[in-house]
């Protein structure tokens, strides 16, 4: 956190106040980074590291020996010989006698440290009791720990002294109190005095001595900068050399005294030296050569010390200065010289990452520096891509070279350090695979940025999952999201590629999808070790990856398959669901079962789009794709019955059944229209044929005894069948109102035409469905009386339509509502037909005791009487009127004789 604050403060300060503002901004950013740094858990007892850990163990061993001597003396107070013998043994071992330990010890300069390292009294176990672990205190903030640890007054004084000297220099310059050479020499002399005093006190007062040396190094930098930039007393070469010497001095002091802070001060000064002394006329070879030497120094320190902040400081300084130089000064003619330094820096920081992971503490903790491991190839390859932006195949070759480098390095490390560097080997192996994969889109298209970021984000998520770092995982996910938006921006520019599948558009989207779903799998495997936000984001992460995969496939199908895109879409959706179903089962991956839940709705949406385009579902290999899709639909539902909510599982089966019925209806209707029968009875009857047959199919006893109807009767016989029944009922009104029953080339015959045969099949299907409901003891949906009333209404309309169609074809009356209403023949025929129908209803009701049916027949008879006196009497004359009245009268007499009202049953309204 502190180095991010330092760099941000440096850049912001440079914009606001040039170089003086950059220095002040860098210092303030460093303080802010320390203040905002996340607190780390205090290192528990038993986990020493380095020299401090060894010293701590020695102190604990001495205290344990003293406690044993004291206990021995209490148990044997009169054993003088034993005491003397024990004292001699203790003296030989370098442990004071118990009697001496009992006295108050004389304080020493290291006594506070020993007291801090000694265990708490309550943590010492007694006989028969298990040891109790002392609570682990939370470590304070880094800035607070630096100020309060060691000699606080000296550290605060050093900061104040630094600012005081800076103010003194400015005040003397403003008021011209002394010659500038004398003032700067005095400041330099004070810096030397601080360094000398700190070096002399390094053994007695380590913390105080390091504070003095750090202040001295800082004053040296300030003096050199003022002499060159502010007062122009030193030429650029001399100032540069002095700054380099100061950096080397601080690094030497840091290594000699095991002081990382000094090394970081020297390194930061060394990196800033060319920037502070730059006149704008230097060449890049000298600049990068100097930084190569400086980074080689960091590598040398990394060989002996595991100072991760120093490694990161060098890495970020090198990347930032390289970016600024490339942005302002790079041109094509500088590729050869720049490439050599880029390769050098890349290999150097990979070596530093290996050295850091090879340290004993890192190996014991299975720890690796994810920032250097993944940041180094990301930055280096980004620079390489910027230099080769118009050379796609050269960039592909670079990706192959980087992949080979990482794979070979992983193989070598695995052979030599099979267990100690397992995490590092796996990271390098993953990077090798990533860059090998990236070589394909690089060679075929120029969308390297989004693909690289997505896969690098996956690598960071993987490393964060292995190391338990939520911040790294969050950064990896954010990098994938950014990659997706960058990729969309590239697609809007029209860079799609001309070859199916093997083009940048598909491969880039596929890699983003792969990164998303793989990240979801990695985080799902962590279980409760993830944060609350991560657990909430897991579904979104899988949906992100799945969405990119569907986009990749749909985009390819739409671009390269103009005729068979709907069939290919069905096969693509089914294949996706089948693949994720297998992954979900094999890897115990709950989110991977989602495509199986959404397959049926997705297929329904695709079928609706096909119908909207007035296209055949079975054309262009649709006869193969759609059966495959339905097979996969049933297969994945059967394989995930336990993982899907029961109610949603019922609906998925119902949706699949309805989709099959609807597709069959549309396909036969489309076929009839394609054969020139669009306005005939054939096309209308074709629309209901498959739904009626499907209803009959699920209503049979054989279907009811087999999966899936036997396992999900409610899904098929209620949720799936009821919409089909309603559709058949509505079809009855539509077909009879709009079609006259012409079935060319066959002549019209009542009941033997396409429309009437369709009604017969529909009635049979509904009757079979009702029997299936009774057989499975499922209650009639929507109520028994409502269903009977709806069925009676549909049959009544159909019978009247048969009469009207017969009159149309045999008597030449047009099959239109106005013409029929004005036709004397039609009105007379309707009166007689309704009377005959009422007679049949009332007679059957009398025989069966159906009082409600008898009342319905009587109501129909009343309608006929009303029609005779209020309609036919004024519109019908002559023989037709006579036939109507006489025929209706005779039929009513027959009704009165054959069909008296049945008696009311007990409890009947």
Q: How far is CA 548 from CA 53, 390, 553, 700, in A?
A: 51, 27, 9, 43
Instruction: Quickly state the pLDDT bin for 112 (edges 50, 70, 90).
Output: very low
In angstroms, the CA 63 to CA 476 distance is 48
Q: How far is CA 224 from CA 28, 272, 462, 788, 846, in A?
A: 21, 12, 46, 103, 121
Q: What is the mean pLDDT of residues 638-642?
A: 86
Instruction: Quickly state the pLDDT bin for 715 (edges 50, 70, 90).
Output: very high
Instruction: Quickly state the pLDDT bin for 127 (edges 50, 70, 90).
Output: very low
Which residues, listed in sequence order, are joined to residue 41 by a DSSP beta bridge?
138
In angstroms, the CA 873 to CA 871 distance is 6
In angstroms, the CA 766 to CA 758 distance is 12
Q: What is the pLDDT of residue 608?
A: 94
For residue 349, what are the contacts with CB-CB under 8 A and spacing of at least 6? Answer: 295, 311, 314, 315, 318, 372, 376
Provide φ and ψ at 743, rounded to 5°. -135, 60
325, 276 in Cβ contact below 8 A? no
More confident residue, 18 or 417: 417
CB burial of 175-189 (b: ≥16 within 10 Å; e: otherwise) equals: eeeeebeebbebbbe
Q: What is the mean pLDDT of residues 206-230?
A: 69
827, 881 in Cβ contact below 8 A? no
More confident residue, 645 or 684: 684
Q: What is the pLDDT of residue 201?
A: 78
**pLDDT tens, position by position, 599-617:** 999 999 999 999 998 889 9
For the residues of 609-673, what is the DSSP string, one character each?
Answer: HHHHTT--SSTTTHHHHHHHHHHHHHHHHHHTTTTS-HHHHHHHHHHHHHHHHHHHHHHHHHHHH
Q: What is the pLDDT of residue 165?
A: 59
Instruction: Quickly state the pLDDT bin for 554 (edges 50, 70, 90).
Output: very high
644, 593 in Cβ contact below 8 A? yes
Q: What is the mean pLDDT of residues 571-575?
A: 96
Q: What is the pLDDT of residue 259?
A: 77
More confident residue, 832 or 13: 832
Q: What is the pLDDT of residue 743?
A: 78
Q: What is the mean pLDDT of residues 876-898?
A: 56
**pLDDT tens, position by position, 661-708:** 999 999 998 988 888 777 778 888 888 999 999 999 999 999 989 999
Provide φ and ψ at 20, rounded to 5°. -60, -40
In angstroms, the CA 648 to CA 644 distance is 7
Detail the DSSP E strand segments found in 238-312: none
3-state secondary structure of 859: helix
In angstroms, the CA 736 to CA 395 distance is 70
Q: What is the pLDDT of residue 778?
A: 83
Task: Report the helix count and the strand count for the chain, using DSSP H and E.
Answer: 37, 0
Q: Round the average pLDDT of the chain to a whole number and report it.
A: 76
Instruction: Quickly state the pLDDT bin for 720 (edges 50, 70, 90).
Output: very high
Instruction: Quickly state the pLDDT bin for 898 (edges 50, 70, 90).
Output: low
**pLDDT tens, position by position, 64-85:** 777 777 777 766 655 444 444 4
More confident residue, 275 or 491: 491
Q: What is the pLDDT of residue 226?
A: 65
> Six-digit token pair at 122?
């309550």
**pLDDT tens, position by position, 279-329:** 565 567 767 876 777 777 788 788 878 788 888 888 998 888 888 888 888
Q: What is the pLDDT of residue 737?
A: 87
- In this model, does residue 131 exceed pLDDT 50? no
Q: What is the pLDDT of residue 123?
A: 41
Instruction: Quickly state the pLDDT bin for 906 (edges 50, 70, 90).
Output: low
pTM value > 0.85: no
Instruction: Quickly state the pLDDT bin for 97 (edges 50, 70, 90).
Output: very low
Instruction: Quickly state the pLDDT bin for 366 (edges 50, 70, 90).
Output: very low
Q: What is the pLDDT of residue 99?
A: 38
578, 635 in Cβ contact below 8 A? yes
Q: What is the mean pLDDT of residues 265-271?
A: 68
**pLDDT tens, position by position, 463-491:** 888 878 787 888 889 889 988 988 887 77
Q: What is the pLDDT of residue 575?
A: 96
Q: What is the mean pLDDT of residues 150-167?
A: 59
Q: How far is CA 835 from CA 53, 635, 799, 801, 876, in A?
A: 110, 56, 13, 16, 17
- In this model, does residue 437 exceed pLDDT 60? yes
- In this model, does residue 576 exceed pLDDT 90? yes
715, 654 in Cβ contact below 8 A? yes
Provide φ and ψ at 388, rounded to 5°. -115, 35
Q: What is the pLDDT of residue 330?
A: 86
Rounded to a whole number of angstroms, the distance between the first and last alpha carbons of the chain is 85
Q: What is the pLDDT of residue 92?
A: 39
- In this model, does residue 362 exceed pLDDT 60? no
In angstroms, the CA 9 to CA 1 distance is 12
Q: What is the mean pLDDT of residues 440-463?
A: 73
71-80, 255-264, 496-505, 573-582: least confident range: 71-80
Q: What is the pLDDT of residue 893?
A: 57
Name the percent of the chain lying above pLDDT 70.
69
Q: What is the pLDDT of residue 80?
A: 45
Instruction: Quickly state the pLDDT bin for 39 (edges 50, 70, 90).
Output: very low
41-50, 445-454, 713-722, 857-866: least confident range: 41-50
- In this model, does residue 180 exceed pLDDT 80? no
For residue 222, what are the contacts with CB-CB under 8 A and spacing of at least 6? Answer: 162, 165, 166, 169, 187
> Six-digit token pair at 429?
């192996």
- In this model, does residue 549 exceed pLDDT 90? yes
134-148, 688-702, 784-798: least confident range: 134-148
11-15, 238-242, 871-875: least confident range: 11-15
734, 718 in Cβ contact below 8 A? no
For residue 117, what are the contacts with CB-CB under 8 A and spacing of at least 6? Answer: 56, 59, 60
CB burial of 549-559 (b: ≥16 within 10 Å; e: otherwise) equals: bbbbbbbbbeb
- In this model, does residue 62 exceed pLDDT 90? no
For residue 105, what are the contacts with CB-CB under 8 A and spacing of at least 6? Answer: 111
């Amino acid at each position: 956190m502190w180095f991010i604050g330092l760099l941000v403060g440096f850049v912001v300060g440079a914009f606001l106040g040039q170089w003086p503002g950059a220095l002040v901004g860098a210092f303030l950013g460093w303080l802010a980074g320390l203040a905002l740094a996340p607190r780390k858990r205090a290192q528990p007892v038993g986990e020493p590291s380095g020299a401090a850990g060894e010293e701590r163990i020695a102190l604990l061993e001495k205290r344990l020996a003293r406690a044993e001597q004291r206990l021995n003396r209490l148990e044997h107070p009169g054993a003088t010989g034993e005491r003397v013998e024990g004292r001699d043994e203790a003296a030989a071992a370098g442990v004071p006698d118990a009697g001496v330990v009992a006295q108050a010890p004389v304080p020493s300069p290291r006594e506070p440290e020993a007291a801090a390292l000694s265990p708490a009294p309550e943590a010492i176990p007694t006989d028969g009791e298990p040891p109790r672990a002392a609570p682990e205190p939370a470590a304070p903030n880094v800035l607070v720990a630096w100020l309060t640890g060691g000699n606080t007054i000296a550290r605060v004084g050093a900061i104040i002294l630094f600012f005081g000297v800076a103010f003194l220099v400015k005040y003397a310059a403003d008021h011209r109190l002394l010659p500038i050479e004398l003032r700067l020499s005095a400041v330099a002399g004070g810096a030397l005095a601080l360094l000398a005093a700190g070096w002399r006190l390094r053994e007695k007062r380590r913390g105080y001595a390091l504070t003095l040396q750090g202040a001295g190094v800082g004053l040296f930098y300030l003096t050199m900068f003022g002499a060159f930039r502010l007062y122009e007393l030193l030429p650029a070469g001399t100032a540069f050399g002095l700054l380099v010497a100061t950096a080397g001095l601080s690094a030497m002091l840091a290594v000699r005294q095991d002081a990382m802070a000094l090394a970081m001060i020297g390194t930061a000064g060394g990196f800033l030296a060319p920037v502070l002394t730059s006149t704008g006329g230097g060449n890049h070879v000298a600049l990068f050569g100097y930084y190569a030497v400086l980074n080689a120094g960091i590598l040398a320190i990394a060989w002996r010390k595991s100072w991760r902040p120093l490694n990161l400081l060098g890495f970020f300084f090198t990347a930032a200065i390289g970016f600024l130089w490339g942005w302002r000064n790079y041109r094509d003619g500088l590729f050869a010289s720049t490439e050599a330094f880029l390769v050098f820096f890349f290999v150097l920081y990979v070596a530093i990452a290996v050295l850091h992971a090879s340290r004993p503490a890192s190996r014991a903790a299975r720890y690796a520096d994810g920032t250097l491991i993944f940041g180094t190839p990301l930055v280096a390859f980004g620079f390489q891509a910027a230099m080769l932006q118009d050379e796609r195949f050269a960039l592909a070759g670079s990706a192959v070279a980087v992949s080979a480098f990482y794979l070979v390095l992983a193989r070598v490390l695995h052979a030599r350090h099979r267990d100690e560097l397992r995490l590092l080997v796996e990271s390098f192996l993953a990077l090798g695979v990533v860059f090998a994969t990236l070589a394909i889109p690089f060679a075929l298209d120029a969308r390297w940025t989004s693909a690289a970021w997505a896969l690098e984000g996956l690598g960071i998520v993987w490393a964060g999952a292995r190391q338990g770092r939520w911040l790294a995982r969050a950064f990896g996910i954010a990098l994938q999201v950014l990659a997706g938006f960058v990729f969309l921006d590239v697609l809007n520019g029209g860079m799609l590629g001309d070859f199916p599948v093997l083009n940048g558009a598909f491969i880039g989207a596929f890699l983003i999808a792969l990164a998303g779903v793989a990240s979801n799998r990695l985080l799902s495997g962590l279980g409760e070790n993830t944060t609350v936000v991560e657990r909430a984001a897991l579904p979104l992460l899988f949906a992100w990856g799945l969405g990119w995969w569907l986009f990749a496939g749909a985009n390819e199908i739409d671009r390269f398959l103009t005729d068979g895109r709907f069939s290919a879409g069905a096969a693509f959706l089914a294949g996706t669901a089948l693949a994720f179903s297998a992954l979900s089962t094999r890897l115990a991956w709950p989110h991977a079962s989602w495509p199986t839940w959404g397959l049926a709705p997705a297929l329904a949406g695709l079928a609706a789009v096909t119908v909207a385009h007035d296209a055949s579902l079975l054309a262009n290999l649709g006869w193969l794709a759609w059966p495959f899709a339905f097979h996969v639909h049933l297969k994945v539902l059967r394989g995930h019955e336990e993982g899907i909510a029961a109610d949603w599982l019922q609906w998925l089966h119902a949706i699949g059944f309805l989709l099959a019925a609807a597709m069959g209806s549309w396909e036969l209707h489309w076929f009839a229209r394609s054969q020139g029968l669009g306005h005939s009875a054939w096309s209308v009857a074709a629309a209901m044929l498959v739904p009626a047959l499907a209803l009959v199919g699920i209503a049979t006893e054989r279907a009811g005894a087999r999966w899936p109807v036997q396992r999900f009767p409610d899904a098929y016989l209620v949720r799936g069948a009821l919409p089909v029944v309603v559709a058949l009922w509505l079809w009855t009104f539509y077909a009879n109102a709009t079609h006259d029953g012409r079935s060319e080339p066959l002549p019209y015959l009542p009941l033997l035409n396409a429309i009437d045969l369709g009604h017969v099949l529909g009635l049979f299907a509904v009757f079979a469905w009702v029997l299936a409901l009774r057989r499975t003891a499922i209650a009639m949906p929507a109520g028994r009386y409502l269903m009977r009333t709806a069925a009676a209404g549909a049959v009544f309309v159909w019978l009247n339509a048969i009469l009207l169609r017969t009159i149309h074809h045999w008597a030449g009356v047009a099959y239109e509502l106005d013409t029929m209403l004005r036709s004397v023949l039609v009105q007379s025929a309707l009166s007689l037909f309704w009377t005959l129908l009422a007679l049949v209803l009332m007679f059957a009701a009398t025989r069966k005791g159906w009082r409600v049916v008898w009342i319905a027949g009587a109501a129909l008879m009343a309608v006929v009487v009303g029609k005779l006196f209020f309609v036919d009497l004024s519109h019908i004359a002559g023989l037709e009127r006579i036939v109507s009245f006489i025929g209706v009268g005779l039929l009513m007499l027959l009704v009165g004789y054959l069909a008296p009202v049945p008696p009311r049953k007990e409890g009947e309204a």
